Chain A
Amino acid sequence: GQQVMQIPQYQHVQEGEDFTTYCNSSTTLSNIQWYKQRPGGHPVFLIQLVKSGEVKKQKRLTFQFGEAKKNSSLHITATQTTDVGTYFCAGRPVSSGSARQLTFGSGTQLTVLP
């Protein structure tokens, strides 16, 4: 079945440093979503990317969808303590027999040291 891998699994940064997490799918995706989960909380939707090569920005966060629609990245500039949490990507494969399922990556847990 489809697999979505995320690296790194953990990342510790000093406040003010940049952070990037990468998401790779074994199959071509029709779209990819990113979620953030604060410690002890539930996942919260951040953004969806649909087009090949698409880049979207939300303040200090930059999201990118690869040209082949099999990988994606999230980059945070000048991290703040409020960025702490686990970031998940979730993709829906083009060839999915069921068109409604998202496959979640294992997440990248970000710790920001003050």
Chain B
Amino acid sequence: NAGVTQTPKFRILKIGQSMTLQCTQDMNHNYMYWYRQDPGMGLKLIYYSVGAGITDKGEVPNGYNVSRSTTEDFPLRLELAAPSQTSVYFCASSYSTGTSGGSYEQYFGPGTRLTVT
């Protein structure tokens, strides 16, 4: 199993450009997440999904969009890049049943380092 894979590893965007960060997991996990990590800080949840076709906002969703058309893929879209979106983006997945929600360990991808100038 490859686990959670993310592409690209690095990207430089100009202000106002758009891009999609790709995330794929091959563990058949139902839950997937997008986090951003600013230098020296913890992880902030952007969006999450509890299954194909279902997404919900996290703590910092503004400026981002997501979709979940399959169990495996959870792309993150930046429509109008701003310098404040310079960060490292991590995708994660976990398996959960019933109402236990995110009580199982999360598996993280290697991250995408994004710079907006």
Which residues of A does B touch, CB under 8 Å?
1, 6, 9, 30-31, 33, 35, 41-45, 48, 50, 88, 90, 92, 96, 98-107, 109
Assess the B108–A100 pair: CB atoms within 8 A. no
Indicate if B74 sits at the interface (CB-CB under 8 A).
no
Assess the A104–B56 pair: CB atoms within 8 A. no
Total number of A-B contacts with CB less than 8 angstroms? 67
13 contacts between A and B (CB under 8 A): A30-B103, A35-B106, A43-B90, A96-B101, A98-B101, A99-B100, A101-B45, A101-B102, A102-B106, A103-B45, A103-B59, A104-B35, A104-B42
Interface residue tally on B, bucketed by range: 20 to 34
Interface of B is mostly: loop
Assess the B101–A92 pair: CB atoms within 8 A. yes
